[in-house]
């Protein structure tokens, strides 16, 4: 087929482009994803028994996770559209990681030396590494679906951004279950869990995003 | 482009024509020795520019948007080509090169792809896009409603885009 014919075919009776209401779509996606994750927690693991008494630490952990998601948002939305520089958006993510690292150190120095290890590791295997990615999955699936209707051109980067964003959402839900309230634990292992989500997104997501 | 986005046919046609010329240069430069691949990519990219035109933000340079999509299509093409070259070519009949190959003639045949769409979408695209009927005339001729026709065209073009991609991958 000749290219001129194709142009003809595309141009004839062209319809006005839809105004992409991506802000609304994105907001709905994230809320639905968070609701799904909370549901998974409530049904699968059960909210921690002392959630009433532990309201403050739970809130703090949820806020920290929400901040992680918020830091990913500008990057993710920027990657939806082709040919736009990323600029400070990558830097914002790095700054967040750096702040978390500093917070970890400060919190650990505040602990008595013999308690440091427990405060950092939470006294056992950090289960958030497994559970946060699982809780992030619904959001990630929805985000992938949303992203496919746009035109991401840097697939690995986009996959990572989607992964980390859904990781933040998953961690928000996870904080309702997570029994460990040590600051150093959260600023280390939540960040690692979210980074794991980003890695999963970069490898699996990038394949699914191809168009 | 903005007028094309607003649904103005002549403006959209002018944009696509100009884009085709720029894209042809872009792909031919990068795929020396494979002008028909370059033309396939020009067409793929045009379809992508068309079907994903709402991903363009009018506040930013048009060419950056266009070339980002072109670059993506090029990388995708090279990735597919690399996968293909891993497969054994033994005993594969690739046929004789067609001596009457017109330079702007891409390899795939749109009519063949069109015949793979559901009948309703085929009819709608044939009537409106190929036979220059208006949406209303097409609706009268087929007995579908006007919005039915419009939706069929929209869906049909999306599927076509996908088929074009698959045809390029085989």
Band (B104; pLDDT cuts 50, 70, 90): very low
Which residues on chain A place their C-beta less than 8 Å from a C-beta of chain B?
A: 1-20, 80-84, 150-151, 153, 210-211
Residue-by-residue DSSP string for A102-120: HHHHHHHHHS-GGGHHHHH
B155 touches chain A (CB under 8 A): no
Q: How many Å apart are CA B137 and CA A29, to the nearest integer?
A: 40
Average pLDDT (A177-192) is 88
Average pLDDT, chain A: 87
Among A60, A209, A83, CA closest to A148: A209
Domain boundaries, chain A: 20-208
Task: Using CA coordinates, name the residue in chain A closest to B136.
Answer: A13
- The better pLDDT of the pair B39, B169 is held by B39
Q: What is the pLDDT of residue B97?
A: 46
**Whether B153 contacts B128, CB under 8 Å:** yes
What are A2's strand-pairing partners?
B105
Q: How many Å apart are CA B1 and CA A19, to the nearest integer?
A: 15
Share of chain B above pLDDT 90, in %: 0
If you count residue pairs, one on A and one on B, with CB atoms under 8 Å apart, how many are there? 118
Q: What is the pLDDT of residue B170?
A: 45
Chain B positions in Cβ-Cβ contact with residue A150 (cut-off 8 Å): 52, 55
Q: What is the pLDDT of residue B89?
A: 47
Q: Nearest CA to CA, how far is B105 from chain A (Å)?
A: 5
pLDDT in tens, A71-106: 999 999 888 888 788 888 988 999 999 999 999 999
pLDDT in tens, A20-58: 677 888 899 999 999 999 999 988 888 887 777 788 888
Q: CB–CB of B129 and A9 under 8 A?
A: yes
Chain A positions in Cβ-Cβ contact with residue B47 (cut-off 8 Å): 6, 10
- The better pLDDT of the pair B162, A106 is held by A106
CATH 1.10.10 fits B1-85, yes or no: no
The partner residue sitting opposite B104, judged by closest CB among A3, A12, A150, is A3
Taking a contact as any Cβ pair under 8 Å apart, which residues of chain B between 41 and 70 contact chain A? Answer: 42-43, 46-48, 50, 52-57, 60-61, 64-69
- The better pLDDT of the pair A139, A44 is held by A139
Among A150, A159, A139, A135, CA closest to A208: A159
Q: Nearest CA to CA, how far is B72 from chain A (Å)?
A: 6
Average pLDDT (A130-146) is 92
Asked if residue B102 has pLDDT above 60, the reply is no
Q: Which of B71-75, B88-92, B99-103, B150-154 has the highest mean pLDDT?
A: B71-75
Q: CB–CB of A153 and B129 under 8 A?
A: no
* Continuous H helices in chain A: 3-11, 22-40, 55-80, 88-110, 116-121, 128-148, 155-174, 183-185, 191-200, 206-208
Q: What is the pLDDT of residue B96?
A: 47
Q: How many Å apart are CA B32 and CA B43, to the nearest integer?
A: 17
Q: How many Å apart are CA B23 and CA B79, to the nearest integer?
A: 19
Within chain B, which residue ranges are assigned CATH 1.10.1740?
A: 1-85
Band (B4; pLDDT cuts 50, 70, 90): low
Asked if residue B98 has pLDDT above 70, the reply is no
Among A83, A90, A11, A13, CA closest to B57: A83
- The better pLDDT of the pair B59, A184 is held by A184
Q: What is the pLDDT of residue A31?
A: 94
Average pLDDT (A198-210) is 89
Q: CB–CB of B9 and A12 under 8 A?
A: yes
Q: What is the pLDDT of residue A40?
A: 92
Q: Which CATH architecture has domain B108-170?
A: Orthogonal Bundle (1.10)
Q: What is the pLDDT of residue B100?
A: 44
Q: What is the pLDDT of residue B101?
A: 43
Taking a contact as any Cβ pair under 8 Å apart, which residues of chain B between 90 and 119 contact chain A? Answer: 102, 104-106, 108-111
- What's the N-to-C CA distance of chain A in angstroms? 22
Share of chain A above pLDDT 70, in %: 97
Asked if residue A179 has pLDDT above 80, the reply is yes
Band (B47; pLDDT cuts 50, 70, 90): confident
Chain B positions in Cβ-Cβ contact with residue A16 (cut-off 8 Å): 5-7
Band (B109; pLDDT cuts 50, 70, 90): low
- The better pLDDT of the pair A164, A54 is held by A164
- Alpha-carbon distances, residue B166 vs A71, B69, B76, B80, B170 (angstroms): 37, 18, 12, 10, 6
Q: Which of A4-18, A101-115, B103-117, B149-163 has the highest mean pLDDT?
A: A101-115
Non-local CB neighbours of A2 within 8 Å, separated by 6+ positions: B102, B104, B105, B106
Band (B63; pLDDT cuts 50, 70, 90): confident
């Amino acid at each position: 087929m000749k290219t001129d014919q194709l142009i003809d075919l595309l141009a004839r009776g062209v319809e006005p482009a839809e105004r992409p209401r991506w802000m609304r779509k994105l907001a709905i996606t994230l809320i639905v994803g968070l609701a799904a994750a909370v549901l998974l927690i409530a049904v699968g693991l059960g909210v921690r028994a002392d959630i009433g008494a532990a309201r403050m630490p739970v809130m703090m952990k949820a806020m920290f996770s929400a901040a992680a998601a918020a830091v990913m948002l500008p990057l993710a939305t920027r990657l939806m559209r082709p040919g736009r520089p990323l600029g400070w958006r990558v830097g914002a993510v790095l700054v967040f990681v750096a702040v978390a690292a500093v917070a970890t150190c400060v919190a650990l120095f505040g602990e008595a030396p013999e308690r440091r290890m427990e405060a950092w590791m939470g006294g056992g295997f950090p289960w958030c590494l497994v559970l946060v990615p699982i809780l992030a999955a619904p959001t990630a699936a929805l985000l992938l679906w949303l992203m496919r209707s746009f035109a991401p051109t840097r697939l690995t980067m986009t996959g990572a951004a989607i992964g980390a964003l859904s990781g933040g959402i998953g961690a928000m839900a996870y904080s309702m279950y997570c029994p460990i309230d040590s600051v150093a634990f959260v600023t280390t292992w939540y960040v690692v869990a979210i980074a794991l989500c980003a890695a999963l997104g970069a490898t699996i997501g990038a394949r699914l995003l191809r168009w | 482009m903005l007028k094309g986005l607003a649904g103005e046919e002549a403006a959209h046609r002018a944009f696509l024509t100009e884009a085709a010329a720029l894209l042809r240069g872009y792909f031919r430069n990068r795929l020396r020795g494979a002008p028909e691949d370059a033309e396939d990519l020009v067409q793929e990219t045009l379809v992508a520019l068309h079907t994903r035109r709402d991903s363009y933000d009018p506040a930013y340079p048009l060419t950056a948007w266009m070339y980002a999509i072109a670059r993506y299509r090029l990388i995708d093409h090279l990735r597919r080509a690399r996968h293909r070259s891993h497969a054994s070519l033994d005993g594969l009949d690739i046929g004789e090169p067609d001596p009457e190959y017109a330079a702007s003639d891409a390899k795939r045949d749109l009519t063949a792809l069109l015949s793979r769409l559901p009948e309703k979408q085929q009819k709608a695209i044939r009537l409106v896009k190929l036979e220059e009927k208006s949406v209303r005339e097409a609706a009268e001729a087929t007995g579908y409603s006007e919005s039915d026709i419009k939706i069929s065209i929209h869906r049909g073009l999306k599927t076509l885009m996908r088929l074009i991609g698959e045809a390029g991958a085989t």
